[in-house]
Amino acid sequence: MKPINITEKFTKFSKNWHPHQIAVVDDMQVILAKLKGEFVWHSHDHEDELFQVIKGTLYMQFRDRTEIVNEGEIIIVPKGVEHNPTTKNNEEVHVILFEKLSTAHTGNVKHKRTQTKYPKI
C-alpha cells in the first residue's frame, strides 16, 4: 500500500514490446510497456484490454479503421476484436495497460514478439 511512481518505473526498462507488471488488482494486472513501430495483429477471445497513453501517440489499428490515441487518453479494445498497436515516425510511446491476469500477450497468435512472462518492477 505505497504509491507507485509511474515515471520512475518507466526508467527501469528500455526494451520495446516487453511489458512489465507493476501491480495486481484482484484478477487484473497493471502493465507498463514501451512501444515503437508496428506490433502484430491479434485479438483476445475472452478479455478486454485498456491502453492509456502516458507519452507519445498510439495508432490503434483495427481492420476497418485506425484510432489515434494521444497522451492522456485511453482506448478500450473489446474482447474478440482484432487489433494492432502501432507507432509512427520512429516515436517511442509509453503506455499503461489494464488487463486480466489470464490475458495472453498476443492472444492466440504466436510471434517472435510474444512474451509469456512479464517481469515485475
Do residues 114 and 106 make contact, with C-beta atoms less than 8 angstroms apart? Answer: yes
Mean per-residue pLDDT, 20-41:
95
DSSP 8-state code for residue 17: T
What percent of the chain clears pLDDT 90, i.e. is strictly above it? 80
Domain ranges of the chain: 6-100
In the structure grid, which three cell numbers stand for residue 62, read together? Answer: 483495427
Q: Which letter, b or e, does each residue of 6-27 get, where b requires 16 or more Cβ atoms within 10 Å of its Cβ? A: eeebbeeeeeebebbbbeeeee
Q: In the prediction, which pLDDT does 107 show? A: 62
pLDDT at position 37, please? 95
What's the whole-model pTM score? Answer: 0.90
Residue 106 has pLDDT above 90, yes or no: no
Q: At residue 94, does pLDDT exceed 80?
A: yes
CATH code that applies to domain 6-100: 2.60.120.10
Which 3 state secondary structure label does DSSP give 7?
A: helix
Please check the confidence at residue 118 and state whether its pLDDT lies above 80: no
